[in-house]
Amino acid sequence: MDPRQLLEARKAKILDDAKKAAAEIDRDLSLIEQAKAVASKYGFDFVEADVVARPLSPAPHKSRRDPNSPSQLSQRFCEEVIRDYNHPVSIHELKRFMADRGVIVGGKNPIATLSAYLSSNASLASMRKGWWGLKEWIGTPKANVVKLIYFGDELRPKEQAPTHSVGADESV
């Protein structure tokens, strides 16, 4: 096809589209004039949009990722403890470590609250009921090292723990 004919056809389409857009604008202007007449009839004035009071926007939500929120503090602390110990740790021990360092978990059932916090951490996983470890340990022998208990301040395999009952001067 001849380039002149292509350009003429393109020009005609552009002009036709412009005429349609101009006709639409003329209709809108007519509607605005009609609306002004009706508003004036009932005692209202038209004002620019910038002058109109805008509704107050709702207060911004506190970020769920606030680094100082109880959830984030608990997750960071527990992940650090688990990484330091390099084996799964009981949720009760994690709560005890947190309490010893002044990190308080609230709620009606603090253990359940802490467990909920930890379940939203991308790096942690429940190894089995009440025991938390790193997700990277799932399927490895390390995930099965939950038969360890604390005797005093020392972590020992359950088989090496004393079999006698704990007296008043000893703690588990």
Mean confidence (pLDDT) of the chain: 77
Its pTM stands at: 0.47
* Per-domain boundaries in the chain: 1-54, 70-160
Edge-to-edge strands, sheet with 131-134: 89-90, 131-134, 124-128
| pLDDT confidence of residue 168 | 41
On whether the CB atoms of residues 147 and 137 are closer than 8 A, the answer is no
Per-residue pLDDT tens over the stretch 146-159:
555 544 555 555 44
* Whole-number percent of the chain with pLDDT over 70: 71
Lowest mean pLDDT among 42-46, 55-59, 112-116, 128-132: 55-59
| pLDDT confidence of residue 172 | 37
The dotted CATH code for 70-160 is 1.10.10
In degrees and rounded to multiples of 5, residue 169 shows phi and psi of -95, 0
Pairing mode of beta strands 154-157, 131-134: unpaired
In degrees and rounded to multiples of 5, residue 50 shows phi and psi of -65, -20
Report how far apart, in Å, the C-alpha atoms of 10 and of each of 6, 14, 15, 58, 120 are.
6, 6, 9, 49, 58
Q: What is the mean pLDDT of residues 87-92?
A: 88
Per-residue pLDDT tens over the stretch 14-49:
999 999 999 999 999 999 899 888 888 888 877 766
